[in-house]
Each structure stands twice: as C-alpha cells, then as structure tokens.
C-alpha cells in the first residue's frame, strides 16, 4: 500500500500491508491460501475456547476445559509405560497434574523456575488424579489479564502459532472496520456482514460457546448461507456457460439402437431404461450433454455406454470411451465388441500398448472415420489422436481422473464454442446430500437398481488373529470350485511395499494351500502381465487371486464368490464397497471377509459395521460422509471440487435449500454482484468466465 493511493477494497489489500507481516510470514500465509486481508477475514475459526475466567483448581470436572492459575508445587519425571514429566499445579482450592510426554530438559527447568503459571487444557482422569496432558501454559503475570473474548482456534495455521495468527487477525479486523465489505447478499439476511465477521473472530465473553462450537450461531448461519449461495451461483454460471456451447444435434434413436438391445440377451432394468432415455434425450439438443451417471458396482453401466455409442453412430458420429486402466479398457473392448460387431459398429482399442505400425494404422482409421467407437485409456486423448467426427465422449469410473483431466477432456474435440456430448459414469456415489446443486455442473442420473438374480454379498468383520481359520475357509471354498480374491492393502505406504506384501502373502498361502492354484496381481507388473493373469483367473485356471487394490475398479469375474480384505479398517468405505463389488456378480451366494488388526477403535468398528449391514453404495457413502466429514470424502472422491470454509452440508441442510433460492434471486437481480460473491468465497484454479 502506498501513501498516495490508499486501497479501498480489502480484497486488493495484500497481507504484507498489515503491521508485523514480513516476507517470511507472507509465505506461510500463502501456503494456507491467504493472500489478501479479505482472505484473512474469511478464514474463520472452527472452534472456540473459553479462557475468559480463571477457575479454581478444586472445581474442575473431567472432560471440561479450563483456564487455571497456580504455583508449581512439585515437578518430576515419572517412569511408567511411557516416560513423562509431571508438574503439579496448586491453588488454595486444590491441585492438578500437568503431564508432558514430550519434553526437554529446558522445558523442565523453565517450568520449575516460573513463579506463577497460567494454563489451559482439557481435564482427564490421569494416574495421579485429575491431569491435563500437554496444556498450553505461560507465566502468569499481573499485566496479563484474562482474555476479554472467547479464544478462536483457526484451522491450519501451519508454521505459526495460534497466538501469532490471532494477532494478524486483529490487524485485519481493524482494516475491516476502516473498509467495510460490500454486503453481497443483504437481501437474504438481516445481520450485517462486518458485524458477523467481527463477532466470529472475537466473540464476546458472554457468547454461547457451545452454540458457536456446533456452528449454529446466527452469525455462522448467515455466513454459511452466503457461502452456499456462492457455490450455487458458481454451478449455475458454469451450466450457463456450457449451454452456450454448440454440440451435434442427434435425431431420435433408430433401428440399430433397438437391435443392440436384442444383442444384450437380457431385459434392461427399469433404471437402465430411464437413464438411457435421459442420455439419448440430452443428445437431441444442440448444446452439449454433461451427464454424470452414478450407478453402484454391477448396476450395468456398460450397457448405457453401448446404447449411447450406437445412437451417436446412427447419426454418423464417433464415440470415444475412456477407462482408467488398460485392464478395464480391454474388458470393455471384449464386452462391447460382442454386442456391437453384429450390428456393424466398428470398435477398436487404443492404449499405450498399441505401438508402431499398428498404432499408426489405428490413428489413420480413427482420423478417416472408419472407427465408430474407440475404447482406450487416456492415450485416447493425446494430441496425435484426431477424430474425424467425434460426437460423444464417455468416461468410465471417473473418480480415478482428476478435475483437471476432466476439463482437458472437455476441450478435446472442441473448437472455441463447440464440444462433443459427454457422459461420465461412476461407481463412487456422491452422497445425495451433496449431489444437488453444489457438487457438479453436470446433470446427475442415478442407476439405483441391480439386474435381477443377484444375491447380496454377505459380509463378516473378523480379527486378523483368526487368519488360520480364514485360510482354511479359503481352502474349502477353492476345493469346492469357487474362486476367491485375497486383497492386500497397505495404506500410506508406497506401492512398492504393497506389492511386496502381496508377494509375501501369496507365497505364504501357496505354502499352506498346496492344492490351490494361486495367481498374483499387483501394480508392479506390466499391464500385459497383469492382464494375462487376470484372464487366467477369469477362465478359471486360477482358484485364488492374491492382489493389491489394483483390482478395485470394474473387473468382472462372475464365478468369484469369496473375497478377503486385509487391513480393512484402514480403507475408506467407498473403496471397500468398490472392492467388495468384485464378488456377488454371479448367482452363487458370495462372502466378503473384512480383516482388521486389533485394537479396533470405536469409530472403526462402526464403520466396518456399516459395511457388514449394508450393500447399498448410496447409503454407505452417506454414512462415510457422516463419520468422516465432507472434507475427507472429497479428498478421496475428487479433491478440490468442494471445499467449504464454514458451511457443513450435513448440518446445514435447511440453509442449503435456502441457498438455491438465494442464488437464483441474486443472479436475476444483479449478475455482477453474484460473480463477486463467487470470487469472495471460492478459491478455484479452473477457468470460469467471471470477468
């Protein structure tokens, strides 16, 4: 900020204009996404502590958090199961132990030298009576008053202490009062924006801590509404932008479309009928379809891909179908060729394995329009691949693709203002709570019916101590002609380690089960080798497939009816559900055994119970969301799609509903203002026309 030209907008005021923010701090702030004073103002506390009153030590109750003050009466190192430092804090009403498991000699001497100590922390029942583990503490000095406000705790202030960060917030708030923010949603709410922000950063001592900690304070509700409205506006603007593009307009499905249904050899489920109609109707428009099809594992999504590609073919258009792995691409080729070749649709496979002359010839055919349906991996979307007339892009199991890849795909086959139709098929359900209006600019179809004749997978949760019994069970199953998967997982370890673990298990099992023929598939193999072994398993030449999570997506071996998953407590529910979906594909009753290592925490137990009692992917996703919070779900689902600063879709369902209306109104009343709201709340790298 220069003297001459005072900035009049917090969003243009860089953090380094604040007192005490130098280059090093500026860098640290940048790491948590904070560049401007406005960013600081919207980086809200996620928790509050009441440090406004000093409590008598004798009055503390286990489970509560207190600000205490007293003298250190005794300090010593204790040698129990773990070495720790304990200091006893005493006032006229009682005494409490302050325990440190990590401590230095210096800290010990320092504590000993303090005349009077003030500390804050949660009281628990310890070995010596009431104790606080690792309290925050400092020397109590006369000039240090109790705090006037509730103490806010901020998310991720990596590299700086909360108290340092609070000072910066204080500076930012004084700027806020100098330059109040434009109230972009004033028509939807009564409380003034600046007042809300001030309150949430520095709640007065008499504020209701519990209400604030639950996120239900009116000031929080107001800001949640603003934030959710911003997300709704963003999605609506994106949709509008997409509608502005051109796409080939198809005519209604014809004879071939109906003939391919005969080739399937089964009746479509009602859900398949409905969703295939939604897809074909979308392609009758002259703007591109963007449809997300969510269908649980085994719900029959491939059929939809077949139908849509025939529809495109009938209109002289090519289709590209992208799978996340070569294994799946090859499986799609096999399935789709059986259905489509008889009706004269030309199908090909393009992966990184197709090389040299064969590759060049294939490119030529694609370019000359001799191929109707090109199936492949991301190799399909490299620059050298030029379609003659690409009308439809289908992406299978898209949760494996990042957001950026999806946007790159959207550009493939697009000129400035035209784009092919696009369907994304996923088996990772977006919880219903999230799907409407917040998550995606796409239309959403739900394939919520499994083809008839499936017996649900029976799931058991077992301690890994019962490994020998389980091995016997696998033996029995394989001897009676069933096939089984044994999945080895190591979360947070390298893929190399995971492969090694699978190799170990495979030789262990081979030794114990000499009559069972065992195959091994892991990410360390070439895709040809992986594929060869999978085919052996599919043909029934292998009884047991020891594998890593590479097996997760889409693999179809109907005779496999038993699955063992090791370390299941460490996987996400969505992933477990995906894995389990590899069995239960035939008419045989199938079993899934989830092994865990003891001790199993209460939450882990609950999570595995969800798996044990439900086979419904949507229900499981909803539970996963409840137990982990949306942040984590989106981490696994699609990082970066929806990051909320204050709202919580689970908690704020009513506000979410309200935000839909608010967004519509705001867009009608003042589109520029609506765009400013998006900019204020949402950080995103993707390009959206907000200029």
In whole angstroms, how large is the CA radius of gyration of the chain?
A: 30
**Of 70, 298, 413, 572, which lies in the binding site for ligand ADP, with binding defined by CB under 6 A?**
298
Q: Indicate which of ligand ADP, Mg ion, none lies near residue 669 (CB less than 5 to 8 Å, by partner kind).
A: none
Please choose, out of 36-44, 243-251, 300-308, 560-568, the segment that lies near ligand ADP by the rule CB under 6 A.
300-308
Rounded to whole angstroms, the Cα distance separating 679 from 185 reads 13
Which residue is listed with tokens 């010593």?
76
Q: Indicate which of Mg ion, ligand ADP, none lies near residue 169 (CB less than 5 to 8 Å, by partner kind).
A: none
Q: 193: part of which helix (H) or strand (E)?
A: helix 193-201
Rounded to whole angstroms, the Cα distance separating 118 from 228 reads 41
> Is residue 590 a contact residue for ligand ADP (CB under 6 A)?
no
User: CB 665: neighbour CB atoms within 10 A?
Assistant: 15
CA 45 centroid distance within chain: 22
Which residue is listed with tokens 């953090």?
15
Token representation of residue 563: 């699955």
Half-sphere exposure of 144 (CA within 13 A, CB side): 13
CB of 235 to ligand ADP, least distance (A): 26
> Is residue 302 a contact residue for ligand ADP (CB under 6 A)?
yes
Which residue is listed with tokens 């700027």?
175
Spatial CB neighbours of 334, under 8 Å, sequence gap ≥ 6: none
Nearer to Mg ion, 185 or 351 (CB): 351
Q: Indicate which of Mg ion, ligand ADP, none lies near residue 303 (CB less than 5 to 8 Å, by partner kind).
A: ligand ADP
Nearest to 354 by CA among 326, 334, 332: 326
> Is residue 301 a contact residue for ligand ADP (CB under 6 A)?
yes
> Is residue 293 a contact residue for ligand ADP (CB under 6 A)?
no
CB of 399 to ligand ADP, least distance (A): 13
**Of 295, 391, 413, 437, which lies in the binding site for ligand ADP, with binding defined by CB under 6 A?**
295
Provide the 3-class DSSP secondary structure of residue 180.
coil
List the interface residues with ligand ADP, window 428-467 (CB under 6 A). 451
Q: Nearest 5°: CA angle at 196, between 190 and 201?
A: 170
> Is residue 297 a contact residue for ligand ADP (CB under 6 A)?
yes
Nearer to ligand ADP, 303 or 321 (CB): 303
Spatial CB neighbours of 142, under 8 Å, sequence gap ≥ 6: none
Binding site for Mg ion (CB under 5 A): 301, 554
List the interface residues with ligand ADP, window 529-558 (CB under 6 A). 554, 556
Nearer to ligand ADP, 97 or 554 (CB): 554
Nearest to 392 by CA among 264, 247, 294: 247
Rounded to whole angstroms, the Cα distance separating 629 from 270 reads 33
Nearer to ligand ADP, 130 or 451 (CB): 451
CB of 449 to Mg ion, least distance (A): 15
Nearer to ligand ADP, 117 or 373 (CB): 373
CB of 632 to Mg ion, least distance (A): 25
Which residue is listed with tokens 């005490």?
20
Nearer to ligand ADP, 101 or 266 (CB): 266
Instruction: Classify residue 7 by burial, with Cβ atoms within 10 Å: 0-12, 13-18, 19+.
Output: middle
Residues in the chain: 691
Nearest to 61 by CA among 88, 85, 94, 87: 94
Please choose, out of 145-153, 296-304, 363-371, 611-619, the segment that lies near ligand ADP by the rule CB under 6 A.
296-304
DSSP string, 672-683: HHHHHHHHHH--
CB of 524 to Mg ion, least distance (A): 24
Q: Indicate which of Mg ion, ligand ADP, none lies near residue 549 (CB less than 5 to 8 Å, by partner kind).
A: none
Nearest to 573 by CA among 621, 631, 508: 621
CB of 614 to ligand ADP, least distance (A): 17
Q: Indicate which of ligand ADP, Mg ion, none lies near residue 269 (CB less than 5 to 8 Å, by partner kind).
A: ligand ADP
> Is residue 303 a contact residue for ligand ADP (CB under 6 A)?
yes
> Is residue 96 a contact residue for ligand ADP (CB under 6 A)?
no
What's the DSSP call for residue 179? S
CB of 305 to Mg ion, least distance (A): 9
Please choose, out of 201-209, 298-306, 620-628, 654-662, the segment that lies near ligand ADP by the rule CB under 6 A.
298-306
Nearer to ligand ADP, 60 or 303 (CB): 303
Rounded to whole angstroms, the Cα distance separating 34 from 40 reads 6
List the interface residues with ligand ADP, window 255-274 (CB under 6 A). 266-269, 272
Q: Which residues lie near ligand ADP (CB under 6 A)?
A: 266-269, 272, 295, 297-303, 427, 451, 554, 556
């Amino acid at each position: 900020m220069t003297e001459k030209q005072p900035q009049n907008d917090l969003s243009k005021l860089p953090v380094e204009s604040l007192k005490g923010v130098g280059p090093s701090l500026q860098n640290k702030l940048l790491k948590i996404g904070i560049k401007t004073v406005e960013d600081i103002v919207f980086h809200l506390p996620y928790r509050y502590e009441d440090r406004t009153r000093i409590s008598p030590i004798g009055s503390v109750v286990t489970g509560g958090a207190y600000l205490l003050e007293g003298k250190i009466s005794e300090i010593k190192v204790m040698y129990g199961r773990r070495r720790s430092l304990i200091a006893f804090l005493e006032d006229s009403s009682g005494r409490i132990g302050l325990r440190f498991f990590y401590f230095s000699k210096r800290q010990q001497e320092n504590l000993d030298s303090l005349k009077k100590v003030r500390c804050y922390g949660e009281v628990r029942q310890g070995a010596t009576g009431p104790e606080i583990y690792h309290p925050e503490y400092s020397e109590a000095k006369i000039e240090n008053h109790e705090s006037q406000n509730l103490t806010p705790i901020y998310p991720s202030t990596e590299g700086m202490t909360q108290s340092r960060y609070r000072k910066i917030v204080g500076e930012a708030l004084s700027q806020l009062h100098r330059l109040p923010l434009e109230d972009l949603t004033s028509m939807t709410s009564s409380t003034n924006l600046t007042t809300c922000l001030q309150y949430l950063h520095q709640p007065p001592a008499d504020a209701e801590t519990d209400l604030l900690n639950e996120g239900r304070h009116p000031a929080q509700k107001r800001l949640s509404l603003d934030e959710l409205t911003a997300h709704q506006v963003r999605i609506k603007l994106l949709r509008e932008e997409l509608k502005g593009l051109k796409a080939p307009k198809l005519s209604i499905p014809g004879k071939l479309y109906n003939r391919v249904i005969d080739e399937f050899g089964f009746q479509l489920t009602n859900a398949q009928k409905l969703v295939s109609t939604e897809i074909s109707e979308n392609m009758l428009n002259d703007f591109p379809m963007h449809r997300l099809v969510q269908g649980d594992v085994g719900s029959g999504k491939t059929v939809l891909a077949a139908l849509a590609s025939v529809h495109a073919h009938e209109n002289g258009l090519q289709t590209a179908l992208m799978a996340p792995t070569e294994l799946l691409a090859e499986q799609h080729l096999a399935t789709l060729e059986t259905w489509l070749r008889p009706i004269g649709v030309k199908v090909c496979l393009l992966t990184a394995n197709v090389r040299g002359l064969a590759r060049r010839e294939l490119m030529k055919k694609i370019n000359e329009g001799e191929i109707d349906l090109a199936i492949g991996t991301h190799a399909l979307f490299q620059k050298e691949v030029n379609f003659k007339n690409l009308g439809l892009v289908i992406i299978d199991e898209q949760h494996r693709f990042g957001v950026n890849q999806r946007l790159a795909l959207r550009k493939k086959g697009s000129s400035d203002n035209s784009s092919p139709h696009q369907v994304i098929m996923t088996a990772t359900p977006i919880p219903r709570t999230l799907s409407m209006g917040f998550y995606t600019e796409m239309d959403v179809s739900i394939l919520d019916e499994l083809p008839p004749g499936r017996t649900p997978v029976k799931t058991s949760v077992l301690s890994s101590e019962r490994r020998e019994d389980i091995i016997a069970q696998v033996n029995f199953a394989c001897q009676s002609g069933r096939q089984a998967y044994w999945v080895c997982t190591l979360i947070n370890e390298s893929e190399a380690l995971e492969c090694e673990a699978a190799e170990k298990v495979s030789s262990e099992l081979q030794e114990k089960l000499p009559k069972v023929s065992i195959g091994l598939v892991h990410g360390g193999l070439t895709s040809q080798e992986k594929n060869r072994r999978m085919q052996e398993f599919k043909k029934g030449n292998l009884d047991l497939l020891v594998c890593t999570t590479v097996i997760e997506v889409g693999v179809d071996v109907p005779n496999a009816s038993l699955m063992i998953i090791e370390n299941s407590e460490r996987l996400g529910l969505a992933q477990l559900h995906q894995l389990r979906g590899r069995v239960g594909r035939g008419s045989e009753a199938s079993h899934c055994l989830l092994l865990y290592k003891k001790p199993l925490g209460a939450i882990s137990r609950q999570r595995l119970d969800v798996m044990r009692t439900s086979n419904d992917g949507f229900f499981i996703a909803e539970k996963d969301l409840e137990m982990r919070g949306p942040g984590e779900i989106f981490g696994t689902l699609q990082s970066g799609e929806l990051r909320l600063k204050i709202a919580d879709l689970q908690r704020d369902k009513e506000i979410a509903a309200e935000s839909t209306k608010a967004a519509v109104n705001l867009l009608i009343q003042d589109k520029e203002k609506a765009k400013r709201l998006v900019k204020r709340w949402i950080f995103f790298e993707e390009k959206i026309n907000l200029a």
